[in-house]
Amino acid sequence: MKTLNMYLGGDQMFRPEIKIMDCSIRDGGLINQWNFSDEFVRATYKGLCDSGVDYMEIGYKASKDQFDPKQFGKWRFCDDDDIRRIIDGIEPLTKLSCMVDIGRVEEKDIVPQTQSPFSMIRVACYIKEVNKAIELCNMIQDKGYETTVNIMAVSTNLEREIDEALDDLSRTSVPIVYVVDSFGAMYSEDVSFLVKKYQNALPGKTIGIHTHNNRQLAFSNTIQAIIDGANMVDGSVYGIGRGPGNCCVELLLGFLQNPKYKMRPILELIQNYYLPLSKEIEWGYIIPYMITGVRNEHPRVAIKFRDSEERDDYVKFYDKLTTPEPEIDCSK
C-alpha cells in the first residue's frame, strides 16, 4: 500500500513547494455580492496569517464603470486603501492576491506592485481568451506582480482546444497555470489527466488546482492533483464559495502535514465567523448543485432555483434540466 509520504515526495512527510491559496472572500463574495463586514475580512486575514496559509485572495480589480458600487460590497473592488486599513497591524505573513477578468480591467487600474498591498494578480479566462490573458499577464508582470492564468470551465472544452491553449502558454513567462473545475463536474481521473497534460505541455511552470464541491469531490480531486504534481492549491475556509463552495482549506492543512501550517486559528475562525455566517447565507453540497455538476453545467440555474419558492423540489429541478425541449412543427 502506498503511504502519504510516498505520494508527497519520497522520504518527506510533506512537499514544501506546495502553496495554499485561500479564496474565501473572493469566491465567497459570489454568494453575498461581497458584502462582508470589515471585521469579518480582517478576522479572516489574521486567521490565515496565524495558520501559515501562503496567499489570501480578496476580490477583483476592475474598472469602476464595469460594476455598480451600490450593487456590490467594497470587497468586490479591492481598493488598495481599504486593503491597507484592514491588514494594518497584522503581521503580513500571508501574501495578498486578487483576480481580474478579461475585458473588465484596464492598465490604469493596476498600479506598480511597489505601490500596492497585493503580491499576486490572477487572470481568469475562458479558453478562447487565452491570448488576451497572456497579454494581460505580461502587463501585470511588468508592473512587478506574481501572476497566474486560470482557465475556467475546462471540463467543457475539446482536447484540441486545450492543447492549443497550452501551446500558447508554453511560450510565455506566465509562471503558474491552473486547472479549474468550474462546474464541479470532474472525477479524479479527469483531474489527473489534465494535471499531467498541463505539466507535459508547460515544463518549468507550476500547475495549480481550483475545485468546486458539486459532487462532494472538491477535496479528493485536490488531493489527486497534488499527487500528480500540482503545487498551487486553492481552498476556502469552511468551503465557502459560489453555490456548492470550494475545497475546505482546513482539510488541506490537515492533509499536507507541513509543520508551518497550524489548524487551530482556522477552527477558531470557523467557530466565531464562518459558522454564524453559514446560517445567514447558503453554500455547500445541495442536490441542485449536484445535478448541474453531473450534467457539467454552470450552477447559475441551480442558484436561481434555490432563490425560488420551489427551492427544495429537487425532482422538478431535475426534470427541468433533463426533459428535452418539445419538437417544433415547422409545417404550421
Domain-located, residue 159:
yes
Domain-located, residue 113:
yes
pLDDT at 33: 94
Tell me, yes or no, whether 164 and 306 share the same domain: no
Tell me, yes or no, whether 246 and 293 share the same domain: no
Tell me, yes or no, whether 266 and 303 share the same domain: no
pLDDT at 156: 97
Residue 292's domain comprises 287-322
Tell me, yes or no, whether 159 and 117 share the same domain: yes
CA distance 323 to 320: 6
pLDDT at 10: 45
Tell me, yes or no, whether 235 and 315 share the same domain: no
Tell me, yes or no, whether 232 and 292 share the same domain: no
Task: Report whether pLDDT(328) > 50.
Answer: no
Question: Cell 423540489, residue?
Answer: 313
**How open is the CA angle 60-147-284, to the nearest 5 degrees?**
50
CA distance 77 to 72: 9
pLDDT more than 90, % of the chain:
86
Domain-located, residue 331:
no
Tell me, yes or no, whether 116 and 138 share the same domain: yes
Which segments of the chain are extended strands (E)?
A: 19-22, 55-60, 95-101, 120-125, 146-151, 176-181, 206-211, 232-235
CA distance 261 to 297: 35
Domain-located, residue 143:
yes
Domain-located, residue 10:
no
Nearest to 121 by CA among 149, 94, 92: 149
Domain-located, residue 9:
no
Q: What is the pTM of this model?
A: 0.93
Tell me, yes or no, whether 300 and 272 share the same domain: no
Tell me, yes or no, whether 259 and 240 share the same domain: yes
Cα 120 from chain centre: 14
Tell me, yes or no, whether 128 and 183 share the same domain: yes
CA distance 191 to 214: 15
**What band does 325 get if pLDDT is binned at 50, 70 and 90?**
low
Domain-located, residue 330:
no
Tell me, yes or no, whether 160 and 301 share the same domain: no
Domain boundary among 278, 298, 314: 278
pLDDT in tens, 84-97: 999 999 987 899 99
- CATH code of the domain covering residue 193: 3.20.20.70
Task: Report whether pLDDT(260) > 50.
Answer: yes
CB 191 within 8 A of CB 181: yes
Task: Report whether pLDDT(327) > 60.
Answer: no
- When divided into structural domains, the chain yields a total of 2
Domain-located, residue 327:
no
**What band does 274 get if pLDDT is binned at 50, 70 and 90?**
very high
Domain boundary among 261, 278, 295: 278
Tell me, yes or no, whether 148 and 34 share the same domain: yes
